[in-house]
A = this chain, B = another copy of it.
Amino acid sequence: MEKSKLPHTDSNATWIWYPGDFEIWLSNKMQVRRTEREAVFPPLWRYYSPYPLVTFQTEVDLPEEDDVKIHSEGPFQLLIDDVQIYGQPKSIKISAGKHKISFKVYNQEVLPAIYIDGKYVKSNASWNVTNEDKLWIDEEGKAQQSGTPWVPVGSWNFDEPEAKPSEFQLATEPWEAKSTEKTEGGELIDFGKETFGYIKLHGLKGKGKLTLYYGESREEALSTDKCETLDNLYFDGSQSETYILDNSKAFRYVQVQKDASVEYDSISMLYEYLPLEYRGSFKSSDDLLNQIWDVSAYTMHLTTREFFIDGIKRDRWIWAGDAYQSYLMNYYLFFDSPSVERTIAALRGKEPVTAHINIIMDYSLYWFIGIYDYYLYTGDTKFIKTYYPRMKTLMDYCLGRRNENGFLEPLEGDWVFIDWADGLPKTGEVSFEQLLLAKSLEAMAVSAKIAGEIEDEKGYEQLAADLKAKLFDVFWDEDNQVMKHQRIGGEIQDIVTRYANMFGIFFDYFNEAQKQSVKDKVLLNDDILEITTPYMRFYELEALCAMGEQAFVLGEIRDYWGGMLDLGATSFWEKYDPKQKGTEHLEMYGRPYGKSLCHAWGASPIYLFGRYYLGVEPTAPGYSEYTVKPNLGGLEWIEGQVPTPNGTVELYINTSEIKVKASEGEGTLIFNSETQPSTNHGTVSACGENKYQLTIKPNTEYAIKYKAL
């Protein structure tokens, strides 16, 4: 166990817990809040639980006696220097000198957590915790301990003793209705745009039943028998005049129907949200794109809550594939690391691993890649060090499910998702899954190194290299220069899909010739099975951007996201098919209002604009190094900010000028120019073929004159 670096009287105390346990507890609670017409609809995968009994420990060397306040979620046993202190003290004086302080805390209902606050002794990230302290007292009363698996504690922002983890709540603010109209059975309230929160009834009087029918669309709220969510309320007359529902829903519209014996004056709502700063921004000369960015950001904020969830009406669950995209968008909007950590921790749960994450093969694999990206964007190694054992056991599970050829092939209980697409083959050996596994093994190798597991690092590197070689041997079609989709029983199937081909581009698994071939023969080929979900559109457009097709992609964005806006979208959808008409757009899963109209994966323009137009990308962990490759994509100008761990990269680009200012790291601006560019700082160097570059030092405003190609 590392000794905490004391005294740090400057730092604050915070609530601490076993790492991941708050996230598991909160995600369990959040994910069963999904309802369908008042039926609870819990996830289909296994739930883990916090450890109900854990021991927190620190070692201190006090310059003077310290008067320490104790706050605990759950009864505790306090040992100072292995000697039990009687009772459940609310504070204790600890004498000067070296001490070992241990709190063993029990909490079956929520999770064990403590907040310890003295002048010197403070609960914070430097403490350790274990779920098996193995401290036993021998016949003579002597304490014995060995083999105790200490890990660093988990914490977040619970910095006040009153702010207990068990009482976590998102923030709320009052929102008024935009309009109200009479309906056949009651009235319809419109809040003007998609929202999430608690309906509030004002001037409530009388006894009887009142029903709220929620709708992301007007049609849904009017459909009393088919709307996905509703609340039946029964009042006995003793309720208060102002009544706030105790469960939050996603809606734009709500229809109220009630007994005549119940009356109310008006309806408002409490908008519920995770307080976050919009650290990223994007503006351009095209107002439609600006509107798309704004609605994407709002979609992203609505789905960034306790965790990154998929949709706010349903599922309100955490799906690793969906969340993976949210992480990437987050790096270009909020750069909120705790949300990424919470989500990764909640998805993984703990031991034992008995199924894929969300029971989906591809989703286990996105989980690994998401951790690699987190490291790349934030530079944080502590998270990987803490979770490496759980990464390893999940990878053991995945590797244990390979077939005799060393490929992942679905076994009983494995759901191969890839995408919602009619007629997409998912059986046998699918190249896409092998490609994700190879990338995951690379992520494991990097993580093993960070965790100090050098043997593991070598092992994973070798596994990744072997798998990559085999992937190309089996699935790469040398004649046609494309990646095939599937092999069944040793027979390559004559199917090409976009999935492995587009990932092969931005994973940089293809050489330049292969990329060009894939772009022409797959990405830009209408005969290849079309993608209709914003989920896979994300990667399709990313692949095209990675191939320099920013102008083409802008057209796609205008059509696809613009198409939703044309239909009145105030947040982006789970699925959009331009060929559908009217209320067909609301259908999914065989239900007329089954589709989510606010789905995280609909917000991908956030990522695309930041990464491929402003063109900012970390190339070493935590933006210690990064590149800026701006691309106007045919626009007159673009501008915006891309957040970095402790600052931003600010950009303005038009066809003759590039302005850059960054607050940390060493950047490399890479751009094309017809003419020799000039700069107010540093030196522009030529790289041939109209390509130039310039080193960006922190806190310097660079203004480069150039001529766009």
Residues in A lying within 8 Å of B, measured CB to CB: 25, 28-29, 32, 36-47, 49-53, 75-78, 84-88, 104, 106, 108-110, 131-142, 144, 146-149, 351-352, 354-355, 359, 411-415, 420, 588-591, 594
Interface-central residue, A52, A351, A589, A594, by most chain B CB under 10 Å: A52
Q: From A130, which residue of chain B is reached at the shortest CB distance? A: B46
Q: How far is the CA of A144 from the CA of B137 in the complex (A)?
A: 52
Q: From A415, which residue of chain B is reached at the shortest CB distance? A: B136
Is the pair A106, B42 in contact by a Cβ cutoff of 8 Å?
yes
Q: How far is the CA of A45 from the CA of B36 in the complex (A)?
A: 41
Is the pair A147, B414 in contact by a Cβ cutoff of 8 Å?
yes
Q: Hey, which chain B residues are within 8 Å of A137, CB to CB?
A: 589
How many of these chains are in the complex?
Answer: 2
Whole-angstrom distance between the Cβ of A586 and the nearest chain B Cβ: 14
Interface-central residue, A43, A135, A591, by most chain B CB under 10 Å: A43
24 A-B pairs with CB atoms under 8 Å apart are A32-B75, A38-B87, A38-B88, A39-B84, A40-B75, A40-B77, A41-B84, A42-B104, A44-B133, A46-B53, A46-B131, A47-B51, A49-B49, A109-B109, A134-B359, A134-B413, A136-B359, A137-B589, A141-B594, A144-B415, A147-B413, A147-B414, A149-B354, A351-B354
List 11 other contacts, CB 8 Å, given A25-B108, A37-B86, A41-B84.
Answer: A28-B52, A28-B53, A28-B108, A29-B108, A39-B77, A39-B88, A40-B75, A40-B77, A42-B77, A46-B131, A141-B591
Whole-angstrom distance between the Cβ of A12 and the nearest chain B Cβ: 27
Nearest first, the 4 closest Cβ-Cβ pairs linking A and B are A147-B413, A141-B590, A147-B412, A49-B49
Is the pair B412, A146 in contact by a Cβ cutoff of 8 Å?
yes
Q: Hey, which chain B residues are within 8 Å of A594, CB to CB?
A: 141
Is the pair B106, A38 in contact by a Cβ cutoff of 8 Å?
no
Residues A139 and B588 in contact in the complex (CB < 8 Å), given A88-B38, A134-B45: yes
Is the pair A131, B591 in contact by a Cβ cutoff of 8 Å?
no
Q: Hey, which chain B residues are within 8 Å of A359, CB to CB?
A: 132, 134, 136
Is the pair A136, B53 in contact by a Cβ cutoff of 8 Å?
no
Q: How far is the CA of A149 from the CA of B42 in the complex (A)?
A: 18
Residues A147 and B355 in contact in the complex (CB < 8 Å), given A415-B136, A589-B137: yes
For A135, give its contact among B44, B85, B354 (CB under 8 Å). B44
Q: How far is the CA of A47 from the CA of B74 in the complex (A)?
A: 15
Q: Hey, which chain B residues are within 8 Å of A88, CB to CB?
A: 38-40
Is the pair A86, B36 in contact by a Cβ cutoff of 8 Å?
yes
Residues A590 and B46 in contact in the complex (CB < 8 Å), given A39-B85, A354-B149: no
Q: How far is the CA of A133 from the CA of B131 in the complex (A)?
A: 28
Is the pair B352, A352 in contact by a Cβ cutoff of 8 Å?
yes
Is the pair A86, B38 in contact by a Cβ cutoff of 8 Å?
yes
Residues A37 and B87 in contact in the complex (CB < 8 Å), given A32-B53, A141-B589: yes
Whole-angstrom distance between the Cβ of A84 and the nearest chain B Cβ: 6
Q: Hey, which chain B residues are within 8 Å of A590, CB to CB?
A: 140-142
Q: Hey, which chain B residues are within 8 Å of A43, CB to CB?
A: 53
Q: Hey, which chain B residues are within 8 Å of A413, CB to CB?
A: 134, 146-148
Whole-angstrom distance between the Cβ of A688 and the nearest chain B Cβ: 49
Residues A355 and B411 in contact in the complex (CB < 8 Å), given A39-B84, A141-B591: no
Q: From A85, which residue of chain B is reached at the shortest CB distance? A: B39
